[in-house]
Amino acid sequence: MPVKLSRTFIGSTKKKQDPVLFLKSARSLLILTLLMVVSLFAGGVVPARASNFQPHAPILIDGNGGFTTANGVTGGSGTATDPYVIAGWEIALAPYFGIRIQGTSAHFVIRNVYVHDGAPSSYVGDSEVFGGISLDGAPNGVVESVTISKTKNAITVFHSEDVIVRNNLVVSNRDGIGVFGSGHLGHIHIQIVGNNVSSNGLGIWCSFAACVISGNNIDHNGSGIVEYNAGVAITGNMISNNGGGVFEVNSAFPFHNNFINNKVRGQADCGHIGNCHHTWDDGYPNGGNYWSDLVTVDNCTGPNQDICTGPDGIADKPLDMGIGDFIDRYPLTKPFAPLVSGKVRFEPTSITSQDTGTYLTAFVKLPKGFVRSDFVSSSISLNGTISVAGGASVSHSSGAGVLVVRFNMTQVRALMSKPGTYTLQVSGNLLTNTNFRPFEAVATVQLSF
């Protein structure tokens, strides 16, 4: 399922670059700029061997004809609805790679495998760049719920479109999850979602590719995330205790990430562009990132933080990243937490083009555990474009967990071009003692003439 983003990030298209040469130069640059002082294996947690894994030799699939039972395929026919499945194997002491798939077009899934102890931790040479799982010219793949430890590069994706890497444990490798030159930058081709990436040299990196890096736990790596000339969305990650948080060149716009106790917050560079302006946030009221080492004051609201009637979970002053024109305009005062959904009922439920009513009223039921005072009033909107009507109130109704919000009916009707049923969304931010998190609730309204 595609990852839903509130912004689209498209980087400049570059010619394909040799991944080995890039890796060498990137590592050299990072040593100088990010002070990579984290040992590759220090503090790593070696996963316990699961009893249901079966030993298997290294797997090489070259072309669609290579998807055979002898090559570890346990099911599927290679279609989008019935992909080939490689599952249940333990692959140890592989000299170059545990699983490598190249030159294919069939759909496939690699899941529930354990690849470990594949190579020494030091960089040996160009012939040993693959490590754990490698996809090269192998689109339409999913790598999920695998464990990889003590290899060279745990998971690498070369020139492969529409690949998902999710819910994996990548620990104590030379480098973690890497993407090189995979697809054009017109839409998101690689999703790196929900992985635990710990105690590696580079945690996650994306070069000359279109990537979503979202919802990952990235900790105790030499550097957390590295982006180079790519169209990258970096959202909702926990980036903690790394030598450097995020290193980006040209095109990443990180937001809604938690940067916790990293030795260096991040580094940014305009690369070949020269002068550039990057905002590490998603605008107001969506906000930017949480920085554990940033002392914040929050007395004001609004895009300019100049309406000083109370807090909104966003610091009153922006964070200058200290390099070029890179800025988090709306740093969060509490760690970011994922979206929470509630329920809403609109009145009236049916309107006409001649409706003389002043307001569309939304009765918002907050999820259990949240109260009205958690809602940031200045963040409330309808379909992301209509703010609370001037002069209208945001109030309680029959309990602390119910919110009453009114929107201008003329603006609401402008959303509806012809008769029919329309889905409307009330959204905003919740600010608790521990977290800043977005909220949404949807319901329908009927328009008739």
- How do residues 21-31 score in pLDDT, each as one tens digit? 333 444 433 33
Residue 448 pLDDT > 60, yes or no? yes
Q: How far apart are CA 333 and CA 292, in angstroms?
A: 9
CATH of the domain at 442: 2.60.40.10
Please give the pLDDT value at position 120.
Answer: 52
- The string of pLDDT tens digits covering residues 74-129 is 999 999 999 999 999 999 988 888 999 999 999 999 999 999 997 554 444 444 44
Please give the pLDDT value at position 232.
Answer: 84
Please give the pLDDT value at position 321.
Answer: 78
Q: 281 and 370 share a domain?
A: no
pTM of the model: 0.84
Domain termination site, one of 268, 302, 328: 328
Q: What is the mean pLDDT of residues 393-411?
A: 75
Higher pLDDT among residues 428 and 24, named by residue: 428
Higher pLDDT among residues 49 and 384, named by residue: 384
125 within a domain of the structure (yes/no): yes
Domain termination site, one of 285, 300, 328: 328
381 within a domain of the structure (yes/no): yes
Domain termination site, one of 270, 295, 328: 328
Q: 349 and 265 share a domain?
A: no
Residue 250 pLDDT > 50, yes or no? yes
154 within a domain of the structure (yes/no): yes
Instruction: For residue 363, give the nearest of 445, 447, 438, 426 by alpha carbon.
Output: 426
Which phi and psi angles does 79 have, rounded to 5°? -90, 170
- Give residue 435's pLDDT band: very low, low, confident or very high (50, 70, 90): very high
Domain count, the chain: 2
CB 175 within 8 A of CB 156: no
Please give the pLDDT value at position 25.
Answer: 42
Please give the pLDDT value at position 182.
Answer: 64
- The string of pLDDT tens digits covering residues 301-340 is 999 999 999 999 999 999 987 766 678 999 999 999 999 9
The pLDDT mean for the chain works out to 83
Q: How far apart are CA 360 and CA 342, in angstroms?
A: 18
Instruction: For residue 394, give the nearest of 348, 433, 359, 424 by alpha carbon.
Output: 359
Q: 322 and 349 share a domain?
A: no
Q: Which of 1-5, 181-185, 361-365, 441-445 has the lowest mean pLDDT?
A: 1-5
Q: 222 and 286 share a domain?
A: yes
Q: 349 and 324 share a domain?
A: no
* Domain span holding position 207: 19-328
Cis, peptide link before residue 254, omega less than 30° from 0: no
Residue 35 pLDDT > 70, yes or no? no
Residues linked to residue 2 through DSSP beta bridges, in sequence order:
none
* Lookup: tokens for 178: 């890497």
351 within a domain of the structure (yes/no): yes
Residue 397 pLDDT > 60, yes or no? no
- The string of pLDDT tens digits covering residues 186-225 is 555 899 999 999 999 999 999 888 899 999 999 999 999 9
Q: 41 and 90 share a domain?
A: yes
Please give the pLDDT value at position 16.
Answer: 35
Please give the pLDDT value at position 357.
Answer: 74
Q: What is the mean pLDDT of residues 61-78?
A: 98
Please give the pLDDT value at position 279.
Answer: 86
5 within a domain of the structure (yes/no): no
Q: 265 and 373 share a domain?
A: no
Higher pLDDT among residues 187 and 145, named by residue: 145
Q: 166 and 304 share a domain?
A: yes
144 within a domain of the structure (yes/no): yes
Q: How far apart are CA 39 and CA 172, in angstroms?
A: 9
Q: 302 and 435 share a domain?
A: no
Cis, peptide link before residue 419, omega less than 30° from 0: no
Q: 324 and 408 share a domain?
A: no
Q: What is the mean pLDDT of residues 369-383?
A: 90
9 within a domain of the structure (yes/no): no
Q: 375 and 305 share a domain?
A: no
353 within a domain of the structure (yes/no): yes
**DSSP category for residue 250:** S
Q: 216 and 125 share a domain?
A: yes
DSSP percent split of the chain into helix, strand, coil, nearest 5: 10, 40, 50
